[in-house]
């Protein structure tokens, strides 16, 4: 290396403008890219959600045609899971993990850049068929539901092909990010930062990475088989050629169930940062939580077929998947117990991150408990594919990861921007989100119990009242997120007081030993953990 690279950290010369963001290998820049991309997708997915609720405001077709409705529900699911939640959690991982473990950067910085820049093309692929349809090509984006069940997905239009290629890109991107995180955690910890001293956010992301590496290939393989069935004359999912449509469901849910924990783990880890800070009390059950993470990780890959109880399954299969699913309640209960133990007899204050964290514990609690009910193979005949299920997984995925990510956003926003946000607006944001969320999804439990199937663009009259309530709630949730946008902009532009390096009175962790915002290269000297 005879040349001194232009980007040498000690020269202080960094590319500016667009080039900085395109070519960056800095973990904080890439983290911010991930988070902004995720936030933008969250807005798009949210618009899809509002379209769904507008359509279901009253019986009788109003807003969307059935074709467009199917596309919107599919894209809502895919965008929220793959383009909003996963990138946001990956953004926090990129931004925080190196600082939390005292590392200079991620272990594989160029891979990091590549991993991120695969995401925008994937999102474009997913939505591009809208444009093609506009020019008379094809019939719009994928419309099979986010589960892409064969043979519907074999029969459907070219939107499915675009979604398959998006899945390929997402798979590559996720694997790159996961491998990078595992390598970073294993190799770049500062002296004294042993595995059993790692902050729990880091541990939770380690488990997420393991799961992604274990299960995402199943989805990519399934997508490849689907592509072959659609265009190359294979019959993986067609009985006529010796295949089986249910094979797709196995492949999808072998990925899909752990995916729930992939989304959940990072926010479960976040709880063990926010709760101790605002309870002014050390984490309760640090080791127990790590063991619970491990238990959930292992169990999550052997329960997938509980999504398929109505697909037809032998008695032994039903019993196995039912009891294995129930077993997950134990390590999850350990997490809840530890969160309550952390808050118990603390000295509590209720800044916005704490409010969202407590909201997370409550709403995700409802999601988890109703999941226990869904585990029952026979009762599931009533719940499956009804609005009860829709309500359950929104409590689990909005009440869990989204509430958790908003909490994390408020918690680390002052650290990232160097400025506080408006507490007043933050509290409004919380209460409107909490109320709006419950008004939206609590009625959906009752709709499901009354017998309303999911994924229908129009419904029978007995479901009218509750759907109207649900739609009103969705509008509240949607509007409330504008307050979040305000707070992000406010902190970014520095409209409120500057943040100290510790930000919160009782915040712990290496990231809080650095100034706010942290310098481009976090540690000029390697920290040593005693």
Of the candidate spans 6-14, 82-90, 177-185, 334-342, the one that interacts with another protein by CB under 8 A turns out to be 334-342
- Cβ distance to another protein smaller for residue 119 or 335: 335
Interface with another protein, residue 63, by CB under 8 A:
no
Of the candidate spans 36-44, 119-127, 165-173, 343-351, the one that interacts with another protein by CB under 8 A turns out to be 343-351
Residue from 131, 191, 349, 529 binding another protein (CB under 8 A): 349
- Cβ distance to another protein smaller for residue 132 or 514: 132
- Residues ≥6 apart with Cβ < 8 Å to 156: 142, 143, 144
**CA dist., res. 119 & res. 172, Å (int):** 9
Strand partners, 386: 453
- Residues ≥6 apart with Cβ < 8 Å to 219: 167, 171, 251, 252, 255, 256
Interface with another protein, residue 234, by CB under 8 A:
no
Q: Which two tokens stand for residue 289?
A: 């939580």
Of the candidate spans 1-9, 296-304, 338-346, 490-498, the one that interacts with another protein by CB under 8 A turns out to be 338-346
How many chain residues interact with another protein (CB under 8 A)? 108
- Cβ distance to another protein smaller for residue 190 or 327: 327
Do 96 and 201 contact (CB within 8 A), yes or no?
Answer: yes
Residue from 7, 19, 22, 340 binding another protein (CB under 8 A): 340
Residue from 64, 78, 334, 357 binding another protein (CB under 8 A): 334
**CA dist., res. 23 & res. 17, Å (int):** 11
Q: Which two tokens stand for residue 127?
A: 């939505």
- Cβ distance to another protein smaller for residue 294 or 337: 337
Per CB under 8 A, contacts with another protein among 307-326 are 310-312, 315, 318-319, 322-323, 326
Smallest separation (angstroms) from another protein to the CB of 269: 17
Query: Which conformational region is residue 494 in: left (phi greater than 0), alpha (psi within -120 to 50 degrees), or beta?
Result: left
Q: How many CB atoms lie within 10 A of CB 316?
A: 8
**CA dist., res. 387 & res. 208, Å (int):** 28
Burial of 312 (0-12, 13-18, 19+ CB in 10 A): exposed
Interface with another protein, residue 70, by CB under 8 A:
yes
Of the candidate spans 162-170, 205-213, 299-307, 383-391, the one that interacts with another protein by CB under 8 A turns out to be 383-391
Closest to 142 in 3D by CA, of 122, 132, 120, 157 = 157
Per CB under 8 A, contacts with another protein among 72-91 are none
Per CB under 8 A, contacts with another protein among 133-172 are 133, 136-139, 143-145, 149, 151-152, 155-158
- Cβ distance to another protein smaller for residue 131 or 333: 333
Task: For 123-181, give the DSSP string.
Answer: HHHHHHHHHHHHTTSSS-B--STTTT-TTHHHHS-THHHHHHHHHHHHHHHHHHHHHHH
- Cβ distance to another protein smaller for residue 104 or 365: 365
Spell out, one character per residue from 420 to 459, where the chain touches another protein: x when CB under 8 A holds, - when not: -----------x--xx--xx--xx--x--xxx-xxxxxxx
Do 483 and 489 contact (CB within 8 A), yes or no?
Answer: no
Residue from 55, 370, 433, 481 binding another protein (CB under 8 A): 370
Smallest separation (angstroms) from another protein to the CB of 181: 27
Buried b (16+ CB within 10 A) or exposed e, 132-157: bbeeeebebbbbbbbbbbbbbbbebb
Query: Which conformational region is residue 361 in: left (phi greater than 0), alpha (psi within -120 to 50 degrees), or beta?
Result: alpha
**CA dist., res. 480 & res. 374, Å (int):** 30
Smallest separation (angstroms) from another protein to the CB of 282: 5
Smallest separation (angstroms) from another protein to the CB of 79: 17
Smallest separation (angstroms) from another protein to the CB of 27: 30
Per CB under 8 A, contacts with another protein among 246-305 are 246, 279-288
Smallest separation (angstroms) from another protein to the CB of 308: 9
Interface with another protein, residue 351, by CB under 8 A:
no
Residue with tokens 């052997």: 302
């Amino acid at each position: 290396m005879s040349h001194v690279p232009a980007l040498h950290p000690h020269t202080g010369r960094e590319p500016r403008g667009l080039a900085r963001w395109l070519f960056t290998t800095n973990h904080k820049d890439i983290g911010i890219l991930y988070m902004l991309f995720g936030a933008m997708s969250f807005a798009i997915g949210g618009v899809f959600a509002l379209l769904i609720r507008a359509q279901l405001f009253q019986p009788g077709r109003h807003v969307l045609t059935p074709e467009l409705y199917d596309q919107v529900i599919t894209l809502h699911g895919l965008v929220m899971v793959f383009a909003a939640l996963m990138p946001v959690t990956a953004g926090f991982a990129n931004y925080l993990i190196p600082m939390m473990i005292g590392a200079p950067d991620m272990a594989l910085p160029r891979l990091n850049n590549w991993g991120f820049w695969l995401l925008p093309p994937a999102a474009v692929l997913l939505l591009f068929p809208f444009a093609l349809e506009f020019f008379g090509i094809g019939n719009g984006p994928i419309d099979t539901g986010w589960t892409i069940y064969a043979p519907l997905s074999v029969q459907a239009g070219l939107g499915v092909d675009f979604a398959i290629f998006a899945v390929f890109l997402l798979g590559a991107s996720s694997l790159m990010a996961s491998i990078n995180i595992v390598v970073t955690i294993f190799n770049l910890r500062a002296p004294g930062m042993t595995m059993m001293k790692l902050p729990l956010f880091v541990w939770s992301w380690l488990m997420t990475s393991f799961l992604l590496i274990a299960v995402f290939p199943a989805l990519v393989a399934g997508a490849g088989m689907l592509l072959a069935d659609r265009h190359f004359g294979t019959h993986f999912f067609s009985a006529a050629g010796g295949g089986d449509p249910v094979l797709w469901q196995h492949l999808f849910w072998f990925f899909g169930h752990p995916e729930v924990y992939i989304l959940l783990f990072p926010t479960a880890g976040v709880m063990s940062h926010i709760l101790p800070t605002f309870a002014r009390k050390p984490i309760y059950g640090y080791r127990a939580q790590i063991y619970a993470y491990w238990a959930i990780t292992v169990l999550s890959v052997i329960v997938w077929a509980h999504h398929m109880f109505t697909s037809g399954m032998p008695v032994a299969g039903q019993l196995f998947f039912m009891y294995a699913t129930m077993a997950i309640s134990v390590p999850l209960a350990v997490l809840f117990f530890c969160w309550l133990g952390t808050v118990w007899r603390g000295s509590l204050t209720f800044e916005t991150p704490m409010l969202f964290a407590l909201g997370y514990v409550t709403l995700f609690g409802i999601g988890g408990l109703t999941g226990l009910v869904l585990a029952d193979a026979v009762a599931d005949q009533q719940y499956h594919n009804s609005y009860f299920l829709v309500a359950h997984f929104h409590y689990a995925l909005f009440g869990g990861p989204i509430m958790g990510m908003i909490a994390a956003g408020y918690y680390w926003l002052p650290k990232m921007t160097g400025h506080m946000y408006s507490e007043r607006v933050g509290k409004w944001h919380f209460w409107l989100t909490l109320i709006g969320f419950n008004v939206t999804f609590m009625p959906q439990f009752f709709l499901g119990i009354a017998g309303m199937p999911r994924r229908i663009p129009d419904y029978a009259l007995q479901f009218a009242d509750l759907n109207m309530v649900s739609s009103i709630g969705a509008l509240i949730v949607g509007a409330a997120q504008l307050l979040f946008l305000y707070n992000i902009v406010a902190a970014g532009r520095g409209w409120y007081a500057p943040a100290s390096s510790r930000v919160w009175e009782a915040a712990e962790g290496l990231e809080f030993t650095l100034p706010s915002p942290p310098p481009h290269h976090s540690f000029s000297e390697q920290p040593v953990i005693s």
